[in-house]
A = this chain, B = another copy of it.
Amino acid sequence: MRAAIFNGPHDITVADVSDPSITAPTDAVVRVVLACVCGSDLWFWRGQTPHDNDGTGHEFIGVVEAVGSAVTAVREGDFVIAPFAFSDGTCPNCLAGIQTACVNGGFFGGNGVDGAQAERVRVPQANGTLVKVPAGTYDDATMRSLLTLSDVMGTGHHAAVSAGVTPGDTVAVVGDGAVGLSAVLAAKRLGAGRIIALSRNPSRQALAREFGASEIVEERGDDAVEAVRGLTGGIGADAALECVGTDDAVSSALAIARPGSTVGYVGVPHGVELSVPDMFYRNVGLKGGPAPVRAYIPELLEDVLAGRIDPGRVFDYETDLDHIADAYRAMDERRAIKSLIRVGAI
């Protein structure tokens, strides 16, 4: 099969590799229909974090081609969504809804686990991992939205859940990438009364507004903090969602959250140093991590299929597997919010 191979910073190629096969009774093999590039993939693309050449990409939807003898939750021919992490669904952490801490789990794309930027993926712990999409014919917009349930939409939702967004809240979102935009949509879905999106990019601002943002703050750093405080009577937001992962973004999120609130953070932290006294004296909490998107797929899937949310609109660039390097470049150069990769027919 064809699969993306990471050779080093700014160097991804596509090569013929062996097809994956069932290696454990709990495995499934999924033929990929749609995959994409994640903002977190850019860290290794840019050489900012190490990455092996075992595989890249961790977001995909596709069709089950084979299952191991212990797999009962899905079968050959099922159209499925794969969360970016695999999990057994039965350990205490899975039962607590934190599948990204599954004691038998792991992450797709590297470290010996297949990547999703490929024609096929071996899925460990298929019973706990894969979610079957009801049989049907889905238009392209729906397919794109289903793909976001693999990561970004669930990750934005996790930011909102971690921050404890409740109906009527004023929510501030730091980050206007695909996750930040998804967080806007998630906050709106959870009933936020006002959503303040921090963005200085006109097309991202437009999508943020369509997803539910009521106000846009274009400033950065201390000026952004001032602006959000100005919009909230000097007090701060009821919830701040941090969707970047840099020290500046986390600092800003903590500073714009009102006393007693929580910053929900889902941007993979890079060089973040917290001022504990500042957090403590303002009673501002911090909670988040790799989103247990597996826990969220059922409810989000229902809303996608009912047409209540349309998170697939974050994809504004697309190509095929052979041109995957272009997909990375478009995101790296901020020409694209998020790049879709058309891999196979459904």
Residues of A whose CB lies within 8 Å of any CB of B are 92-93, 96-98, 100-101, 103, 162, 233-235, 250, 258-260, 262, 265, 268-269, 272-274, 276-277, 279-290, 292
Contact = CB atoms under 8 A, between A and B. Distances in A.
Contact of A283 (B98, B268, B279): B98
Contact of A258 (B96, B235, B268, B285): B96
B285 A280 contact: no
A282 to B, nearest CB: 6
B287 A286 contact: yes
B289 A288 contact: no
Contact of A285 (B92, B100, B162): B162
A286 B265 CA distance: 12
Given A235-B93, A276-B274, A98 B286 contact: no
A109 to B, nearest CB: 16
A142 to B, nearest CB: 30
A290 B281 contact: yes
A101 B262 contact: no
A286 B283 contact: no
A274 to B, nearest CB: 5
Contacts of A283: 98, 100-101, 287-290, 292
14 contacts: A92-B235, A98-B260, A100-B283, A101-B282, A103-B234, A162-B285, A272-B276, A280-B288, A282-B289, A283-B288, A283-B290, A284-B289, A285-B286, A286-B287
Contact of A289 (B274, B281, B287): B281
A286 B274 CA distance: 12
Contacts of A92: 233, 235, 258
B162 A259 contact: no
Contacts of A286: 279, 285-287
Contacts of A101: 259-260, 282-283
- Most chain B CB within 10 A, of A162, A259, A281, is at A259
Nearest to A280: B289
Contacts of A262: 285, 287
Contacts of A268: 280
A315 to B, nearest CB: 26
Contacts of A281: 289-290
A237 B277 CA distance: 25
A265 B273 CA distance: 18
A93 B258 contact: yes
A116 B150 CA distance: 57
A143 to B, nearest CB: 29
B276 A269 contact: yes
Nearest to A260: B98
A39 to B, nearest CB: 15
Contacts of A279: 286, 289
A171 to B, nearest CB: 15
Nearest to A265: B280
A276 B280 CA distance: 16
